[in-house]
Chains A and B, each alone.
Chain A
């Protein structure tokens, strides 16, 4: 036996897959749509599950915005809908916290992690590196079903008597560790922890597949530096996930023990309802360290795929090579590396030693450098480009706009001195929603509008897409921009009602305005959902192989690729993915050999 035998064995294995597909096609409904091992179907499963969660998570924000915008009003229909959580049409304060917590959890993990990188890593990696499927299609399927199980558990927690977790998406102990502390810290919190543990297994299995597929399964000629930037982005995202999620797993396990076995990992010197608890010696700050060691990389797990998608979509629709390809790769790497050493900037006001804090300030502000490199590269890609304002392109440009606006406030927050004033105010809400939340969603929309023809062989409706874009773009700024002022004035986040504060009364009208816009923006997302499902069945059909005139490999597959992606041999790659507007040609596909008199880039 030799190593060659092992490698050869695997290659023939994948080879057979492509040919087997042509000859016998005995897929049942179960193997094709439910327990599918085809990366394209698994991507769609992630996408649609993510969309269901996005609607639920978005609806939660609309409901708690009703409370924040109209604190004096009652909404009787809420009682029909939520029962004892909204007696008399007024949100129960406990449930308000549950809504905030679930909105954060669902959007951060289930939508912007599983829905974004789960969808696009699965869909694009084999297609763009030139592979029949993921390295291990079976683990890939398992990854989705762990996500599905996590979803079921999280969904179940919405329906228990005491309600879902309510300690904020960061679930800091001791609040989250003690069932007596609040309704949401009872069974809802256990379900949250179990669901997240399952989710972490999903992220691990998925991530291992993404990494190995990018490293091992590239087609002939597809060197690392010929890969589209999406591939680099998903690759680094997967590494971040594989190395940071396990730390949250450790933290969650210790929290589960504290809740159920009487250990004292996070608990010390606690009096609750007049009763002194025996727990001693633990540290709630320890949990924050463990949480943010994942929590901070997590925001890059969200934004890196969006960056990759935006780079790809912008280059194609500017008909220009991406500006500074190697700088883009380098800055992705720099962000990935820095992601692991900045977590304590979430903890400046926990009593962290200010001297230690100064290192975290420095490292945090360093992230501005690769971020700025990326921004300037996007802008210079647009510069003098032959821009096609397709819906995907609009969302990619919108992404850059949001990333700039939200990134600049990150420089404020990264300073520990300013953070004393700004932490836990609406300023931080504005910051992370713009730079991570909405920007992440924009990356996802850019990808969806761009690759929908590859996914379903049909186009999304353009008119609806433009309405969707402009309402979302304008609405996002109208919602989150005013929050900067509220935050600078000291208005704290997570509060149920501000009417008792003389200082925040001036924001009553502004809060109403924000709530009003958020309802409109939510409605625009429903328009997109309609467009999505309508177009799957009734959309305009794709008639050419390469509708966007893109150079990357996925457009060399048939319009509706089967399992195995390419009917014959996998094409060989001869050039990078960004030969646009070269030598008088609109674009040159990666599969075309370099001509003798071709100019060098």
Chain B
């Protein structure tokens, strides 16, 4: 056994084994994540170029100030903070699932995967609520001398600068691109979360069926975990670009 394990590091690349000492599946996952990072990068950079070519933009503190069951209370960024917290918490539970996988603890893997899936579903639910709130919102907007009632959609942006109309502060139309980018990018991210929930559910089923126990390792959970953490990381950037900047 000593000859098999004591490989000098200089021979890592000489063939017959993985130079990074990891399986092909993980190499693939890492390259896929790099590729996906370019997809999101392209979206976010596009968003940046268009946003900073505009004179005005929507103020996140005004747009995202609602919280379920609180009526019209002004709670800027409170709800999105909760969403972010849920997603990060689901990353923690994913880490625990991977950890129990290392210890070949099937029950533990199952438990933490269920929590991770619930976290993902909760995030998607929050996003659905936020979207609905924005789209069906009712905001007074002064358009060509007439006050109209707009929600936030890909074609309408009621978050332009305010102006005095008949002695009242009324918003004017803001840059249309806001809705397109917001729904486009958070939607694309949400689609990734949705895929992650599906993947994790498959992992849960396979764990329950003892596929990994029989195989002798839980590497699939690790790969699903890599994907899940990546989706989390992307959210951090989306959060930064849409809510904080």
Residues of B within 8 A of A2 (CB): 217
Q: Scoring B residues 30 to 53 as 1 if CB is less than 8 Å from chain A, else 0, what string do you get? A: 011011101111110010011001
Partner of A282, one of B18, B43, B104, B177: B177
Residues of B within 8 A of A211 (CB): 27-28, 31
Smallest CB separation, B71 vs chain A (Å): 31
A260–B14 CA distance with the chains assembled, in angstroms: 52
Residues of B within 8 A of A135 (CB): 24-25, 27-28
| B interface, size bucket | 35 or more
Residues of B within 8 A of A281 (CB): 50, 53-54, 175-177
Contacts between the two chains (Cβ within 8 Å), count: 160
Smallest CB separation, A350 vs chain B (Å): 14
A3 touches B15 (CB 8 A): no
Partner of B46, one of A5, A245, A264, A286: A286
From 112 to 161 in chain A, residues with beta carbon under 8 angstroms from any chain B beta carbon are 129-130, 135-136, 139
B28 touches A254 (CB 8 A): no
A246 touches B18 (CB 8 A): no
A457 is an interface residue with CB less than 8 A from chain B = no
A6–B218 CA distance with the chains assembled, in angstroms: 9
Residues of A within 8 A of B16 (CB): 218-222, 572
B24 touches A217 (CB 8 A): yes
Q: Scoring A residues 214 to 248 as 1 if CB is less than 8 Å from chain B, else 0, what string do you get? A: 01111111111010000000000000001111110
A373 is an interface residue with CB less than 8 A from chain B = no
Partner of B50, one of A243, A278, A282: A282
A222 touches B15 (CB 8 A): yes
Partner of B177, one of A7, A213, A264: A264
Report if A279-B35 is in contact (Cβ < 8 Å); known contacts: A286-B49, A293-B42. no
Smallest CB separation, A318 vs chain B (Å): 27
A263 is an interface residue with CB less than 8 A from chain B = yes
A250 touches B46 (CB 8 A): yes
From 280 to 308 in chain A, residues with beta carbon under 8 angstroms from any chain B beta carbon are 280-283, 286, 289-290, 293
A254 touches B46 (CB 8 A): yes
A250–B14 CA distance with the chains assembled, in angstroms: 38
Report if A263-B184 is in contact (Cβ < 8 Å); known contacts: A1-B216, A254-B46, A278-B176. yes
A139–B181 CA distance with the chains assembled, in angstroms: 32
Interface centre among A1, A213, A217, A286 (most CB of B within 10 A): A1
A211–B34 CA distance with the chains assembled, in angstroms: 13
A30 is an interface residue with CB less than 8 A from chain B = no
A202–B182 CA distance with the chains assembled, in angstroms: 28
A280 touches B38 (CB 8 A): no
A5 touches B180 (CB 8 A): no
Residues of B within 8 A of A545 (CB): none
Residue of A nearest to B36 (CB): A246
Residue of B nearest to A264 (CB): B176
Q: Is the interface of B mostly helix, strand, loop or mixed?
A: helix
B154 touches A262 (CB 8 A): yes
A495–B1 CA distance with the chains assembled, in angstroms: 72
B155 is an interface residue with CB less than 8 A from chain A = yes
Partner of B23, one of A1, A7, A226, A251: A7
A249 is an interface residue with CB less than 8 A from chain B = yes
A251–B20 CA distance with the chains assembled, in angstroms: 34
B184 touches A224 (CB 8 A): no
Smallest CB separation, B238 vs chain A (Å): 14
From 147 to 184 in chain B, residues with beta carbon under 8 angstroms from any chain A beta carbon are 154-155, 175-177, 179-181, 184
Task: List the interface of chain A (C-beta within 8 A of B).
Answer: 1-7, 9-10, 129-130, 135-136, 139, 204, 207-209, 211-213, 215-224, 226, 242-247, 249-251, 253-254, 257, 261-265, 278-283, 286, 289-290, 293, 572-573
The 25 sampled A-B contact pairs (Cβ below 8 Å) are A1-B218, A3-B21, A6-B219, A7-B17, A9-B215, A130-B15, A135-B27, A136-B28, A204-B32, A208-B31, A212-B24, A215-B20, A218-B16, A222-B14, A222-B16, A250-B39, A250-B42, A253-B184, A262-B154, A263-B176, A263-B177, A278-B155, A278-B176, A286-B49, A286-B50
Give the top 9 A-B pairs by smallest Cβ distance, nearest first: A220-B16, A263-B180, A250-B42, A222-B15, A135-B24, A218-B15, A246-B39, A1-B217, A246-B38
Given A10-B23, A217-B24, A218-B15, 6 additional A-B pairs, CB 8 A: A136-B28, A216-B27, A246-B38, A250-B42, A250-B43, A290-B46
